[in-house]
Amino acid sequence: MPATSPAGLSRRGFLAAGGGLSLAAMLGLSGCGDSSSSNSGKAADTLTLLLPGDAPTGWDAILAKVNEKLKNDLGFTIAPQFVAWSNYQQQSLLKFTAGENFDTALQARWLNMIQLVASKSLVPVDGLISKYPNLSKTLDPQLLEQNKWSGKLYGIPQVNSAARFHHFTVRQDLADKLGIGEISTFDQLEKFWYDVKQKEKLTPIGISSNMPDLLVAFAPVGWLNQHDWENPHVSVQTFSGGSLPFYLAQDGKSTGSAKPIPFWEAPGVLDALRKVRKYYLDGIINKDALNVDSSTIGSQFESGRIATRWAMTDGLSSQALTPLRKAVPTAQIANVVPLRGGKDAKPNQTFQADNFVVLNVKGRSNERAMQLEDWVSIKENHDLLSYGVEGTDWKPVGTDKFEQLSQYSFPGYALCWRQKLELKIKGITPTEEAWFDWAQKYDNFTLDPYASFVPDVTPVKRQDSQVNAAMTQYGNPLWIGAVDVDKGLDNLKKAVDKAGLADLQAEMEKQANAYLKGQ
């Protein structure tokens, strides 16, 4: 009942987002939703940036230094606004919708970038980058090329490696103790899990509630899909995150036809589903996967209760070692990428960046925003913003690593991630470093035939949202093995058929074929 009281607004924040009114017109004020003019007293010599998360420890001091230098170099300063992660998506969309005049923001496909591109709220930057030498020097031409959507680049891709490839972090000390040694294949990995279960009484794999759709039908590989690890050449597309995955034909380029099929028809997927079901029944994966969040899994791994955890080629999973050693002094961790053929496997990769810095069409000065992006591409400036003051916040280790001295931590991926400038953390393990280096080279991968294909959900919006709902209900339990595969898949098929699978499939085919034609 207190939902009816003032706090009700906040509890229902997301749903309350319903109204999209320009109050102006209602009050008879000509309906111009753009308020930027009214704020112009502040002049364009301060850029507003939207950053996710919380202001880092020691932020005021670093910001003062950054602004002092910026003022000297370029004649303006920045005023970043931090928006908590849990509200970032809603808040940034709201600010775009209200026509605010902030200058840059973090956007991505998993946020609202597709919508914002469709509504022309973002400045295309492909023509601009070449005018800024420092910026273009630090961005790989391949990166820019692959991140164009329909021929245009709508933001500056933020990456610290060429490819993003998810894999496993395992407790190497346990593998050694169990006599398995270094793990390099999926079969070894599986043996490790069963041995851990039997002899160590730990949970072999920790899965959190935001992982189910990564486990089986996912590109470049389903995390627990052995077939994919052995044949890492699949292209999977969805209309929106969490929706039904379609597999696209690998020979599309030569035949001109993408032939999308729902995931259950793809080779290896059924086997993988059955295997995950077995893991679930055998207690290899945690039974509460659908209800436990990633930070909880992280914390359990760090206290030595989980033997395997999800990892990304971002060079950061070794961070877990320090806290882990507090709980288990002899702990060792290793990163395992069980590709058949190891580092020569050349798996598919779209090279799509996970994060972009976008320029707001209504920003005070798009030119200065680009100047800022150029300025943070200079090593000295990049390091100041990313790591803080050298000597007090961090110190270099060798030529390519750094040691953190203070608690300062900046969300670089929302402003200044440059593959060539990022330093590795000091404690990076040898296996992680090897795979991280591997992910730095474009040549280690096969270009996904649908690499820069971004399906447009608009024509099938209604069907997609209903399929999305069905996937959460029937798909998630299936992905983590909580239900019988045949029965679960049957229920899922019925639900998505009713929700409009056929429409989605036809639309996917149309768009993918059009994409192939344009290549």
- Contacting other proteins within 377-416 (CB under 8 A): 386-387, 403-404, 407-413
Q: Which listed residue (43, 64, 327, 514) binds other proteins by CB under 8 A?
A: 327
Size of the site for other proteins (CB under 8 A): 131
**Contacts for 238 with CB less than 8 Å, ≥ 6 apart:** 244, 245, 246, 455
Shortest spacing between CB 3 and other proteins, in angstroms: 6
Q: Quick check: 326 binds other proteins (CB under 8 A)?
A: yes
CA–CA dist 337, 343 (Å, integer): 9
- The vertex-437 CA angle with 436 and 443, nearest 5°, equals 115
| Cβ pair 227, 216 in contact under 8 A | no
Strand 46-52 versus strand 446-447 pairing type: unpaired
Phi, psi of 477 (to 5 degrees): -60, -35
* Distance in Å, CB of 184 to other proteins, minimum: 25
Q: What are φ and ψ of residue 469, in 5° steps?
A: -65, -40
Q: Does 13 bind other proteins (CB under 8 A)?
A: yes
Burial class of residue 457, CB neighbours in 10 A (0-12, 13-18, 19+): buried
Question: If binding is defined by CB under 8 A, does position 194 make contact with other proteins?
Answer: no
Closest residue by Cα to residue 439 from 418, 419, 457: 419
With CB under 8 A as the contact rule, the residue among 18, 28, 179, 391 that binds other proteins is: 18
What's the length of the chain? 519
| Closer of 51 and 249 to other proteins (Cβ) | 51
User: Rounded to whole angstroms, how far apart are CA atoms 141 and 100?
Assistant: 32
Smaller CB distance to other proteins: residue 22 or 250? 22
Interacting positions 334-373 with other proteins (CB under 8 A): none
Using CB under 8 A, which residues numbered 443 to 472 contact other proteins? 457, 461-462, 464-466, 468-469, 472
SS3 333: strand
Interaction with other proteins in 165-184: which residues (CB under 8 A)? none
Say whether residue 329 binds other proteins (CB under 8 A).
no
Q: How far is the CB of 113 from other proteins (least distance, A)?
A: 11
Pairing of strands 46-52, 77-83: parallel
Q: Is residue 40 involved in binding other proteins (CB under 8 A)?
A: no
Instruction: Map the footprint of other proteins across residues 470-499, applying CB under 8 A.
Output: 472-477, 482-483, 495, 498-499
Two tokens, residue 184 = 């390099």
- Within residues 93-152, the interface with other proteins by CB under 8 A covers 93-94, 96-100, 112, 115-116, 119-121
Helix (H, G, I), strand (E, B) or coil at 83: strand
Among 68, 145, 182, 293, binds other proteins (CB under 8 A): 293
Judged by CB under 8 A, which of 42, 43, 75, 84 binds other proteins?
84
**Distance between CA 488 and CA 474 in Å, rounded?**
7
**Least Å distance between CB 10 and other proteins?**
3
- Other CB atoms within a 10 A radius of the CB of residue 258 amount to 28
CB of 257 to other proteins, least distance (A): 27
Least Cβ distance, residue 204 to other proteins (angstroms): 11
Residue 155 touches other proteins, criterion: CB under 8 A: no
Q: Kindly tell me which residue out of 72, 295, 330, 399 binds other proteins, with binding defined by CB under 8 A.
A: 295
Which tokens go with 514?
């059009």
Closest of 351, 357, 354, 419 to residue 382, by C-alpha: 419
State the minimum distance, in angstroms, from the CB of residue 340 to other proteins: 28
Work out how close the CB of 391 gets to other proteins at its nearest, in angstroms, rounded to a whole number: 16
Q: What 3-state DSSP class applies to 170?
A: strand
With CB under 8 A as the contact rule, the residue among 44, 178, 214, 290 that binds other proteins is 290
Coil vs helix vs strand at 284? coil
Residues between 236 and 265 with contacts to other proteins, criterion CB under 8 A: 240-243
Nearer to other proteins, 255 or 458 (CB): 458
CA distance 338 to 185: 4
Position 314 contacts other proteins (CB under 8 A): yes
Say whether residue 38 binds other proteins (CB under 8 A): yes
Residue 38, judged by CB atoms within 10 A of its CB (0-12, 13-18, 19+), counts as: exposed
With b for 16 or more beta-carbon neighbours within 10 A and e for fewer, the 213-225 pattern comes to: bbbbbbbbbbbbb
Q: Which of 53, 124, 396, 459 binds other proteins (CB under 8 A)?
A: 53
Choose between 231 and 243: whose C-beta lies nearer to other proteins: 243
Among 249, 320, 333, 512, binds other proteins (CB under 8 A): 320
> Which of 184, 323 has the CB closer to other proteins?
323
CB of 10 or CB of 399, closer to other proteins:
10
Q: Is 401 exposed, middle or buried (0-12, 13-18, 19+ CB in 10 A)?
A: middle
3-state secondary structure 302-321: HCCCEEEEEECCCCCHHHHH
| 83 near other proteins (CB under 8 A) | yes
Query: 41 vs 179, which CB is nearer to other proteins?
Result: 41
For residue 357, give the H/E element and its range: strand 355-359
Beta carbon nearer to other proteins, 438 or 479: 479
Q: Which is nearer to other proteins, 99 or 396 (CB)?
A: 99
* Interface mask toward other proteins for 417-446; x: CB under 8 A: --------xxx-------------------
C-beta of residue 107 within 8 angstroms of C-beta of residue 89: no
Q: Compare residues 119 and 255 and give the one whose CB is closer to other proteins.
A: 119
Helix (H, G, I), strand (E, B) or coil at 172: helix
